[in-house]
Amino acid sequence: MRRLPAGRLMVTEAGARRAGDPGHDTLDKAADENFPVAPFFLPRAWREDLMAVYGFARLVDDIGDGDLAPGGADACLLGVAPERADDRLALLDAFEADLHRVFDATPRHPLLRRLQPTVRRRALTPEPFLGLIAANRQDQLVTRYETYEDLLAYCELSANPVGRLVLAVTGTTTPERVRRSDLICTALQIVEHLQDVAEDLGRDRIYLPAEDMKRFHVQEADLATPSAGASVRALVAFEAERARELLNEGAPLVGSVHGRLKLLLAGFVAGGRAAVEAIAAADFDVLPGPPRPGKLRLLREVGVTLRGEG
């Protein structure tokens, strides 16, 4: 699952690195995410709790993608035998067991020990964390999605829990906000899948629905070329429009909150919109590499989103 689609969190805290903290390398990855994880303008307590949530989300993604630091340190911390240090399903099982300790005992992994005060302070429940683990477990077993509905069900596990955690940490959860947040997070996940078609294919994963590939006469081999042909571009444009519509439907979430949280959520929506525009500006050719929006485009989209014009 790689970078956390805001669905995945963004963190830009210079203090992520702690001398002697075994989890600091994971936390340092926040600077490379698609969105800021805990930007400076948020209250310090929010930043600390969002960083704790990020540490969990980043580590579970790294387990699922096989991107753990070499040497097996994380496996050892989780109680996984050295000979199984590369067994992703075994690591995910051990990580899930350690997550349960967050709620009723003392976790083994330092990133989960860091998460425990946040869970208690914010009264967080296991469900969103379990969803992220389930998504990474699914990545080991499912590499193709037949329908758009199948992909949405995957996003319900892989992306939507992050938005729900942001609302929970900031004490702003309501049923309607959760609904809007889910739309935004799913859209961001779809956008990231579009940006990373080539990278995902390298991992033998395709997140473009098979029914849509058939509709646009796209074969898997067409995704392995240096540049996209007309059929692939048409498919990407179709999925990008779906993501844009989800973002637009979810955008009223921004207007439902106030203060610094409003700016954070506007950044999520604007980041997704700017990414869709970057894909369009590349004429929907995502195969040479992920189209990324420039800062000016992102700032313009933030302004539009804050004013409720988009």
Q: How far is CA 228 from CA 26, 188, 237, in A?
A: 34, 22, 12
pLDDT at 40: 84
pLDDT at 35: 61
pLDDT at 39: 77
Tell me if 50 sits within 8 A of 37, measured CB to CB: yes
- Domain positions in the chain are 40-126, 142-309
pLDDT at 6: 46
Q: How far is CA 91 from CA 77, 96, 140, 162, 217, in A?
A: 10, 9, 12, 21, 38
The domain defined by 142-309 folds into Farnesyl Diphosphate Synthase (1.10.600)
**CA 209/CA 243 separation, integer angstroms:** 14
CA 35 to the chain's CA centroid: 9
pLDDT at 10: 42
pTM of the model: 0.90
pLDDT at 203: 93
φ/ψ (deg, to 5) at 50: -65, -35
Sequential pLDDT tens for the chain (310 residues): 554 544 444 444 444 444 445 566 666 654 455 566 777 889 999 999 999 999 999 999 999 999 998 889 999 999 999 999 999 999 999 999 999 999 999 999 999 999 999 999 999 999 999 999 999 999 999 999 999 999 999 999 999 999 999 999 999 999 999 999 999 999 999 999 999 999 999 999 999 999 999 999 999 999 999 999 999 999 999 999 999 999 999 999 999 999 999 999 999 999 999 999 999 999 999 999 999 999 899 999 999 999 885 5
- The candidate with the shortest Cα–Cα distance to 136, out of 52, 224, 63, 43, is 63
Tokens standing for residue 167: 């609302």
pLDDT at 15: 42
Dmax (CA) of the chain? 56
- The candidate with the shortest Cα–Cα distance to 109, out of 88, 130, 95, 123, is 95
pLDDT at 28: 61
**How deeply is 140 buried, as exposed, middle or buried, from its count of CB atoms within 10 A (0-12, 13-18, 19+)?**
middle
